[in-house]
Amino acid sequence: MVAAVTETIIIRPATAADAADIAGMINAAFAPYLGRLKPGPSALKETAETIAPQLAPPGGGAVALCVDGTGRASAIAGTVLFKPEADDLYFGRLAVPQAQRGHGIAGALIRFVEDEARRRACAGIVLGVRIALPENQRLFVHHGFAEVSRHAHDGYPEPTWIRMRKRLTSG
């Protein structure tokens, strides 16, 4: 009989040393949206040089690692960036590669952002999601986010993205 090897998701704060891996992860995760989104995803312009300053306080980020039953950690399996915005914590560039989706990585990263927002005594968490990505909207609704408003990218007459917010309660 062979024992099953299970994986645990570990989320840790991102460091400047992670910038290149984070940029690569974001580019890989957002590449399938090229041609599907109008305008195209600005996330595809991220590089180590654009990510590093976003990781510096008061901003920040997190990376997900999958640890197998033997204790070995994978390469980065997901990432997210965040920054203060008024009384809330904004997060974006939530990135999980296609092959890793459906295993709880995005949810674990969202919970990390929630914990960070509570640590910073923020009233809520906000994000932007494209109207053309209903599967992403459903993910955020599942995690307690609600639509706040709709917006159009520059040069587009109709809304192209939705602002969503999750109010945080203390305790």
Cα angle, residue 13 at apex, residues 65 and 55 outer, rounded to 5°:
120
pLDDT at 131: 97
Find the mean pLDDT for residues 116-135: 97
Find the mean pLDDT for residues 133-144: 96
Q: What is the pLDDT of residues 47-105, one digit of tens each?
A: 999 999 999 999 999 999 988 777 777 778 999 999 999 999 999 999 998 888 888 99
Report d(CA 115, CA 165) in Å as an integer. Answer: 15
Q: Taking the chain, what is the end-to-end CA distance rounded to the nearest angstrom?
A: 45
**Residue 5 scores a pLDDT above 70:** no
pTM for the model: 0.90
Count of Cβ atoms closer than 10 Å to residue 117 Cβ: 22
Report d(CA 82, CA 128) in Å as an integer. Answer: 12
**Residue 141 scores a pLDDT above 80:** yes
Task: Look at residues 113, 121, 119, 171 and name the one whose alpha carbon lies nearest to residue 144.
Answer: 113
